[in-house]
Amino acid sequence: MASKLEQLRAMTVVVADTGDIEAVRRLKPQDCTTNPTLILKAVQDPASGPILEEALAWARRQSGPREALVARVCDRLSVAFGAELTRIVPGRVSTEVDADLSFDTGATVAKAREIVALYEAQGIQRERILIKIASTWEGIQAAAVLQREGIDCNLTLLFHLVQAAACADAGAFLISPFVGRILDWHVKAGGGPYTPDTDPGVESVRGIYAYYKAHGIPTVVMGASFRNAGEIEALAGCDRLTISPALLDELAAADGPLPRRLSPGGGAPAPARLALDEAAFRFQLNEDPMAGEKLAEGIRGFVKDLRTLRGLVGKRLAEAQAA
């Protein structure tokens, strides 16, 4: 019998959630997603030394304020890792807009355009890239602008149906509803014990999937942020699942049948299509403590890692210029 990973690939597009280039070569996913945390980890890997050195060499030929230069180097690093990943995976690579722009629609649009331009300068067309944006109201409105320009977006840090509904209204190409972080919140709040089928993160993705399919919404649902293989198996059949290398390895080593759990037209009836404006979006998100807290926490976490990355780049750039 085929491994559970191979069975999963027969019904779901498998995506690697990593910036580890060697892991992607080994695991052969269809797509790959990155974020500031994964880029920071990748930059600190000695194997990534040449990519960092190339970006620093470019910076030494530039002029301008140090802070702006460091930010541009970080953009080049994200695109450099993404470009390398596009040479390995046959599908798309997600590259994230700076998390500290999550509440600024105009700045998010501008940064996304810069990222796409950096890719296109390397001969990588926008059809190979997804611009990853936090699912704030402002981020979703930025995605609406970008989608009209032919720049496909991946809306991340998504914890609630209202976020998914607004992303659908914006015409987002793909959403990344989180599973494990929802589970974390409920366990910390005293919930459980949970099985994969009663896992609140799994239930959230199932509900969003059912809503999209019931209303003929073409936006891709890609479950993300898994804590264990059971959560992944409980979402078998979802459009896409982005999975860490460790869990991909676990699924590759597991045998036994893996039944399809999600399919268009299956599951419980979905609610009527939501009619949302900014006030309704913010109110409904505010009504769910888990969603509001995890969205804010996720943005803070990515901003922290982005600042750490900028600090590392700034230090290395200062050392190189002083040499």
Q: Which residues pair with 93 in a beta bridge?
A: 32, 129
Output the DSSP codes for 61-76: T--S-HHHHHHHHHHH
Cα distance between residue 174 and residue 277, in whole Å: 20
The stretches of 170-269 forming alpha helices (DSSP H) are: 180-188, 200-214, 229-234, 245-253
Catalytic pick among 132, 213, 294, 304? 132
DSSP 46: G
The type of residue at 298 is G
Hey, how many other C-beta atoms are within 10 angstroms of the C-beta on 168? 22
H or E element in which residue 60 lies: helix 49-60
27 in Cβ contact with 254 (< 8 Å) = no
Q: For residue 188, indicate whether it is catalytic.
A: no
Q: What angle do CA 154, 314, 156 make, to 5 degrees?
A: 10
Give the span between the Cα atoms of 196 and 188, in whole angstroms. 17
The residues that are catalytic are 132
